[in-house]
Amino acid sequence: MENKGPQPEPYMVFEPPATPTQKTDKKGMFFDFNLGLRVSVPEGNYRVRFIDRTSHLTVYDAKASGVMAISSKRFFVNFRLEVWEEPPENDKKKKEGKLIFSHDYNAKGKKVLLKFAGRALGDMLAWFPYAEIFRQKHQCKLYVIVDKKYEEILKPGYPELHFISNEERPADLYATYYIGLFAPWDDRDLQPVDWLGLQAHAAYILGVFPGEERVRLVPSRNAKKIRPQKPYVCIATQATAQSKYWNNANGWLQIVDYLKKQGYRVLCVDRDKVVENGIFGNTIPYGCEDFTGNRTLQERVDLISGADFFIGLPSGLSWLAWGCNVPVVMIVGFSLPGTEFYTPYRVQQFHTCNGCANDQRNEHNYEDFGACPHHRGTDREFECTRCITPEYVQDVIEAVRKDISS
């Protein structure tokens, strides 16, 4: 049996309608924006132009006959499409071409689809708020494709969006855009810039203002039933890469003990109690209450939203806590400020190597759990978080508690 190798994830598969969906008043001529700008023209003496209306640049200008012309850019561009009818080449009078069709991008009232990456919780929660911003800006009928496991926590906060499965496609789609981190990073057809931070990345793909936007997460009606009565703190200690962990051996143990002495119950809301990957093994800290396991994301929203504050890593559950409007203490080393959402309780030191995730020279391999790009296999491995002391985290926790009580 032929080994075809790893298959791309569904969100990486671009599946636009086979032919453009928008009719024109010209026979045999159709257009849409479902894989960049596309236009099909019948046989004849035509010239097609794609113009970026924002920058006033003509980015494509070529003869066309019986073909479909497609822009190279797949992200949002404020396009103008022009189709000209050219005089015959043997025309001795050398008449100028005649503009026979034009269209300026206008999604108002039309069906638009956004297809989101489904792999990482943090990415999804970072990017999704820009769907609603795009809908409001263009006043379109917006459809979204997200991994099914995220629908239950996103739907309540975004009632104006239409959630569909990866197999569904609304008829007469005007435009489609794909939101993801596309390797190689310098592919300028799928993303306009190097990633400047998770939220800004999505904003630039969709052509909206790259200001920080908090995802809307809504506790369920049952939230109060599952929350402890005593004041509590939620923590999340597991991650999808060793570089995201707090790699200080005494860190979590000391912090859990400290929190309990302050009168808090400490609930660990990670999915996994133990994470094993190759030579790496990570377990939740001794002394915390085990709220791990096969809980739904909505249950975690319900738990976290009732906590006094949350302590975590640069990972999905920190984004979840931020969406719950809970103060977030984020312990981080592998990324730089601005990569994740802003929190005044970011815990990061700059005396050692740090920020490798933002180094565009590193081609990220998500399957390489133990990657430490600059110091792998040396005594400096993961020094970015090994050198974050429990005392530093305690000081930040005290700042949170002071702000809560004031």
| Catalytically annotated residues | 123
Nearest to 315 by CA among 288, 333, 303: 333
Residue 57 vs residues 49, 77, 78, 150, 158: alpha-carbon distances, Å: 10, 11, 11, 39, 36
The whole-angstrom separation of Cα 45 and Cα 272 is 63
Nearest to 176 by CA among 301, 17, 9: 17
DSSP category for residue 301? H
Nearest to 181 by CA among 240, 237, 119, 259: 119
Tokens of 380: 């400096």
| 165 exposure class (CB count in 10 Å sphere: 0-12, 13-18, 19+) | exposed
Residue-by-residue DSSP string for 81-105: EEEEEPPPTT-TT-PPPEEEEEEE-
Tokens of 37: 């700008």
Contact by Cβ (8 Å): 320, 125: yes
CA 240 to chain centre: 16
Q: Which residues pair with 347 in a beta bridge?
A: 331
